[in-house]
A = this chain, B = another copy of it.
Amino acid sequence: MPLAKRSDYGDAKYAGASVDFNEDIEKALQAALLCGFDFIVTPLVHPDYRPPNPGRSEGHAPGQLTPPFKRHEVLYLPSSARVSQVVGSVSTWIDPDSENSLLKSQSVTTLKQQIAWAGHLGLQAVLLPAVPQPMKAAHYSQVVQQALNGLTHMAIWLTVPLSAEHHPSSDSNQLLSAPQNGSGALTAVTVQDPWEWWHQFRAMTDYHNLLGCCLEVGATLPPPQQIERWKGEPIKSILLPTKVFSSNKRGYPVLSKAHQELLVMFFKLRVQVIVIGPRLHSIPEQERTVSTSGSASDHDGPPGSQEHRSASRPSNMTLANFIPVAESANGGFTIHNPGEDHELRSYWEYLCFLFRKLEPLPEQDRLEQDYQDYLQAPLQPLQDNLESSTYEVFERDVTKYSQYEEAVYRALMDRVPDAEASTTVTTLMVVGAGRGPLVRSSMSASKRSGRCIKVYAVEKNPNAVVHIQTMINKEGWENQVTLVYADMREWQAPDLADILVSELLGSFGDNELSPECLDGAQRFLKSDGVSIPQSYTSFMAPVTTHKLYNDVKNYKDLDHFETPYVVKFHRHYLLAPTQPVFTFNHPNQADPIDNNRYARLNYHRDPSAGSAALHGFAGYFECQLYKDVTLNTHPPTMTPNMFSWFPIFFPLREPVYVPAGASVEAQIWRCCASHKVWYEWGITAPCAGPVHNICGRSYYVGL
């Protein structure tokens, strides 16, 4: 039973529970499901199981003939009906990198054995224990890579402590006494940062798309800037030990404010939670039967508190018969649900409480969910004619067209004094008019300002032109709006324009060739004429995005690594704040006009944020339509409720390890040739790499 019926946070609504090894796992699973959990995590083999010590007198490959498991030693599922509700966990005693050769050999054997068994059962995922020795898990990761090599759908999840002090073998002296040779090999910094353990492990497994991680939360949390890094990583679950909870005054398990915020952050990333460990918080018997109405005043929101109850049920209910209203089988209140006796029930209820408290996702975000972290090729509107439905989607962006209307309104007000309002006719040309939305915005601005305008609507798509004609006829604008079927770069205008209005921007500002189009159109702009937009600037930041890197890699060719994509980033982390890249101003007074650009961007990272992985660059723009009327996708200044543009993603061919405190230096070019425009990009720090898309060999925009 999910934490709530709401679906706006995706998989985050599912919660799992760890269950001890159990010969009758179906029963244990049933109990957990009845309690409210959606799946369980349970050991693949009995904790006492050890593979036999190889002792044959001859042979090349110890472990090859490991005898089969016995029924009682192993997680046994009589039917495959339940496999999607069980995650198998590998024995936590393993240490494939141990100096002890017996332990090492048994670890390797059983790791292979257990993954193979999970695969045999058809489980969807296997949970691996955390690396026993920080930064010394080469052998562990090699065995896992070997296993991954043979897998097609079962995922492997590595447990990673969020903080080094919660590492099983943790001994801060040991960690601190790690060799500090300044070599980058095993410094105290890397040994104490579990992100480094994860990174080493996944780099050795070649960023395999079936390898994910489960972050185990401890009692104390690392600083926020270190937690941020995980947003771009493939986190499959949060492991939440019962010991991390404290008790509220009535004995119910509750989380600290910081832990609550952490969970909320991961809920928003659609990460599910797994409660691990035994019940440590026992609710006094009287509490379970006595009404608590009005007696609670804590505001950290444990189940049974005022805040909690009022959010989800009548305050005169007892906790004992509390099950979330929405999921109640008969739509009302049950008298007794056997799931309430489950030892982890109060933890599950707390998760329900936290999850239900999340503010509802805005409508627009909900609509865009399907596009999150999904690669799209940028449009080429200059080369290709758009379909009607594409125009239609963009026309729905009310915010954007309001801004255009406002920009035209201000320009009209500035250019025409009140005294001349009725006599002066302003010539306005909409270049790239599409189906006409900017004509409509301009006409509204004209009406609102009381300034007369004469509009030329220039459009090169013969199909779109039909819609404009319809609009003109329907609105009765025949005397004011002239429809021109032409390419703005070639049209011989009969008149000069006061205002040139266009909407040619792409996700990276200039990437749909707005500069080239407007340079071609400014021939028919008066010398004191105004272009709307007046200018635009692209912005870029280094980004971690494991998901997108893997999606690009999945194409298995160079071309896809040398193509920028339009992407709604979700699971991502910016390694440093954005920096401005290229700016274009219109009309462009330069002679000759040169739309080639080059930028060298040095991103300094906060050393306390730790190391991070770099998969490429996220790009945005800021556009000045007219004076302070703007359209911005750049996060710090983003125009609210505007959805016409997703950001852009420039991938790198190989993930780059960025050590703590290191800078990222990016180089990016906008290159122009007679029939195409393209970007080239590369990095020169923390280490130099190849320039991508040289000569536009993999990607370009046709002129």
Contact = CB atoms under 8 A, between A and B. Distances in A.
Interface of A: 54-62, 64, 105, 135-136, 138-139, 141-142, 145-146, 149-150, 181-186, 199-200, 203-207, 516, 519, 591-596, 598, 600, 602, 604-605, 654, 657, 659, 661-663, 665, 667, 669, 672-674, 677, 680, 682, 684-691, 694-695, 697, 703
Closest 10 CB pairs of A and B: A206-B690, A183-B663, A203-B688, A185-B685, A185-B663, A200-B688, A138-B667, A657-B687, A60-B672, A56-B592
Contact of A183 (B60, B141, B594, B604): B604
B145 A593 contact: no
Contact of A57 (B54, B516, B591): B591
A600 B204 CA distance: 14
B61 A672 contact: yes
Best-surrounded residue of A62, A690, A697 (most CB of chain B within 10 A): A690
B181 A674 contact: no
Nearest to A141: B691
Contacts of A591: 55-57
A521 to B, nearest CB: 12
Contacts of A200: 684, 688
A319 to B, nearest CB: 49
Contacts of A687: 184, 203, 657
Contacts of A703: 60
**SS class, residues of chain A in contact with chain B:** loop
A64 B672 CA distance: 10
Contacts of A663: 181, 183-185
B58 A593 contact: yes
B592 A204 contact: no
B60 A199 contact: no
A284 to B, nearest CB: 51
Number of identical monomers bound together in the oligomeric complex: 2
28 contacts: A58-B592, A60-B595, A60-B672, A60-B674, A60-B677, A60-B703, A62-B594, A62-B596, A136-B600, A138-B600, A139-B598, A139-B667, A141-B691, A145-B691, A149-B694, A183-B604, A183-B686, A184-B687, A185-B602, A185-B662, A185-B684, A185-B686, A203-B690, A204-B667, A204-B689, A204-B691, A205-B690, A207-B690
A684 B60 contact: no
Best-surrounded residue of A591, A602, A688 (most CB of chain B within 10 A): A688
Contacts of A688: 199-200, 203-204, 657
A59 B592 contact: yes
A136 B600 CA distance: 9
Given A58-B592, A687-B657, A695 B146 contact: yes
Contacts of A182: 661
Given A672-B61, A674-B61, A691 B142 contact: yes
Nearest to A591: B57
Contacts of A183: 604-605, 661-663, 685-686
Nearest to A657: B687
A181 B606 CA distance: 12
A695 B691 CA distance: 33
B149 A697 contact: yes
A204 B684 contact: yes
Given A204-B682, A695-B149, A673 B199 contact: no
Given A591-B55, A592-B59, A205 B686 contact: no
A57 B697 CA distance: 29
A109 to B, nearest CB: 11
Contacts of A686: 183-185
A56 to B, nearest CB: 5
Best-surrounded residue of A56, A136, A203, A661 (most CB of chain B within 10 A): A203
Given A58-B593, A184-B685, A185-B663, 18 more contacts: A56-B591, A61-B596, A61-B673, A61-B674, A62-B592, A62-B594, A64-B674, A135-B684, A139-B598, A139-B667, A142-B694, A146-B695, A150-B695, A183-B604, A183-B685, A203-B687, A203-B689, A204-B682
A186 B604 CA distance: 12
